[in-house]
Amino acid sequence: MKFSGHFPLEDQVVLITGGSQGLGKQFAYKYFNETERTKIILVSRSDNKLYNVVRDIESNQTKPQAEINNNEPICLLNEYPDDLFLNRRIFYLPCDLSDFKEVDKLFGTLLEHRLYPTVILNCVGGSIPKHFKDLTPEELELGIDQNYKSVLTLSHTLLNKFNQLSNSHKSFSNSTSSSSTTTVAKTAEVTYKCHLVLFSSEVCFFPFIGYSQYAPLKVAMKSLINILRQELCSSEYNDNIKLSCVYPGNFKSEGFELEELTKPKITKIIEGPSYPISCIECCNKIVYWLDMGYNDVTTDFIGWVLMSVDMGLNKNNNKSFLYWLQLLIGGLANLLIVPIYMIICQWQIKSYFKESNKNGDDRQKQE
Ligand SMILES: NC(=O)C1=CN([C@@H]2O[C@H](COP(=O)(O)OP(=O)(O)OC[C@H]3O[C@@H](n4cnc5c(N)ncnc54)[C@H](OP(=O)(O)O)[C@@H]3O)[C@@H](O)[C@H]2O)C=CC1
Ligand SMILES: CCCCCCCCCCCCCCCC(=O)[C@@H](N)CO
């Protein structure tokens, strides 16, 4: 039985990578509008997109906030007087998450500004759905950078800087009076903990045609997470780093709209059961399940079914909703449903290629 309260929004320092659009931006809105003391740091490659998101979030704020000294969004790479800095709750920082050196510098900047992230949401990712042979080498490398290297750099840097973060956090809490009202001071009063939330996809349970630039990296990420979960049992981290993974189904983000332009028809047919929900709905579902204490989270029914079919050795027990039922359904589905579904899927793919070849022949005859 799970109880809520495992993912509080208030009194956090939340680092959102991939925060310039889509789900990351949605999380930024949610934290800003539903809390009063939580500090938010948005990171992505584009300085100007981040600037505009921070400005829009502050200008559209739904809750009366303390008078903001000025409405200029704060980039952490610049210097600000303490009073301006301490009165602000949302900041941005350009950084390419696929670059180890840039991520190391990112954590250096956070330490310099005494922003010790208690939640890290890695929303970096994206897909260019095409047939494998039609992808360019640059698109294939982009898929690796966005969907796997960004996870590698973030998790590797966090684990290696965790002691430094803990020690700086502790000395800050000792130097800050208990009456302090800043979020960092409030979180500084307790042992430093960090909740790393990574975003895979349903396609990691069932990689299929059209997602060759994307799905294999989401599968790689799932296996890395299972290995990291084993390593995080070490007394070095003392359970102070929690690692969750979200496996979303389709949701309508800027990235989703873009991928629809190149997505092959057969890909749309296969992923039909995952109807694209709104970003807001996806964000709220993820926060709900994380708050219920689940660490392997899906956002639609078909995702839960696909996770059930994919249980095996890569699932630590009781981290997903109705885990035991998943084991049962997964076992039965693998015996009774999957073999039939794979025949149907194979037939769909063959029909798709037959139709495309026929259309190709018709086009040649017309030319
Ligand atoms: N939308 C969907 O249907 C689904 C999405 N997902 C996953 O959910 C996550 C969020 O998806 P979604 O909101 O659609 O993503 P979007 O494509 O809308 O946004 C991706 C974000 O990542 C940033 N980004 C891309 N590359 C880098 C990089 N190298 N370094 C830093 N930032 C980078 C982009 O900003 P910038 O360009 O400024 O760098 C942007 O803010 C992704 O991991 C995605 O794979 C999973 C299943 C379904
Ligand atoms: C028991 C057997 C049942 C088989 C049913 C198969 C249904 C497959 C649905 C897969 C949906 C994938 C959505 C995520 C796509 C994604 O990540 C991109 N949009 C990236 O942005």
Q: Is the ipTM beyond the 0.90 threshold? A: yes
Residue 93: nearest ligand to its CA?
A: 1
pLDDT, greater one: 250 or 318: 250
Determine the distance separating the centroid of ligand 2 and the alpha carbon of 276, expressed in angstroms. Answer: 10
Confidence bin at 318 (pLDDT 50/70/90)? low
Q: Can you read off the two tokens belonging to residue 14?
A: 């939340």
The whole-angstrom separation of Cα 350 and Cα 338 is 18
In 128-270, the DSSP E strands lie at 194-199, 241-247, 251-252
Predicted confidence band at 366 (pLDDT cuts at 50, 70, 90)? confident
Strand partners, 296: 245
Q: What stretches of 103-253 adopt beta strand conformation (E)?
A: 119-122, 194-199, 241-247, 251-252
CA of 97 to the centre of ligand 2 (A): 26
What pLDDT, on the 0 to 100 scale, is given for residue 363? Answer: 76
Half-sphere exposure of 359 (CA within 13 A, CB side): 6
What is the reported pLDDT for 67?
Answer: 53
Q: How far apart are CA 330 and CA 340, in angstroms?
A: 15
For the entire predicted model, the pTM comes to 0.94
Question: Whose alpha carbon is nearest atom 31 of ligand 1?
Answer: 44
Ligand nearest to the CA of 255: 1
pLDDT band at 186 (very low <50, low <70, confident <90, very high): low
Instruction: Tell which wins on pLDDT, 317 or 360.
Output: 360
The structure tokens 């798709």 sit at 352
Band (61; pLDDT cuts 50, 70, 90) = low
C-alpha span between 182 and 87 (Å, rounded): 8
Distance 367 CA to ligand 1 centre (A): 41
